[in-house]
A and B are shown apart, each in its own frame.
Chain A
Amino acid sequence: MKVKIKSNWTAVASWRWIANDENCGICRMPFDGCCPDCKLPGDDCPLVWGQCSHCFHIHCIVKWLNSQQVHQLCPMCRQEWKFKE
Chain B
Amino acid sequence: MASSPSSSAVKALQLELKKIHDEPVEGFRVKLINDDDLFVWEVAIFGPPGTLYEGGYFKAHMKFPPDYPYCPPSVRFVSKMWHPNVYDNGDVCISILHPPVDDPQSGELPSERWNPTQTVRTVLLSIISLLNEPNTYSPANVDASVMFRKFKESKGKDKEYENIIRKQVIATKEDSERDGVIVPTTLQEYCVSSKPSSHDNQVDADFYDDDYVDDLDDEEEMYEDDDEDSGNEES
Contacts and interface: CB of A to CB of B under 8 A. Distances in A.
Contacts of A75: 115-117
Nearest to B8: A36
A68 B100 contact: yes
A60 B116 contact: yes
A27 B12 contact: yes
For chain B, what secondary structure do more than half of its interface residues adopt (helix, strand, loop), or is it mixed? Answer: loop
B15 A28 contact: yes
A29 B100 contact: no
Interface size class of A (residues with CB under 8 A): 20 to 34
Contacts, number: 73
A67 B214 CA distance: 28
Nearest to B9: A36
Contact of A63 (B70, B115, B214): B70
A39 interface: yes
Contacts of B212: 30, 33
B129 to A, nearest CB: 19
B11 interface: yes
Contacts of B8: 27, 35-37
B105 interface: no
Given A70-B110, A75-B115, A32 B230 contact: yes
B160 interface: no
A83 interface: no
B115 A73 contact: yes
B227 interface: yes
Contact of B117 (A25, A38, A69): A25
A64 to B, nearest CB: 6
A83 to B, nearest CB: 17
Nearest to B71: A67
A40 to B, nearest CB: 8
Interface of A: 14, 22-23, 25-30, 32-41, 60, 63-64, 67-71, 73, 75-76, 78
9 contacts: A25-B116, A26-B69, A28-B12, A29-B11, A33-B231, A35-B8, A40-B232, A70-B101, A78-B111
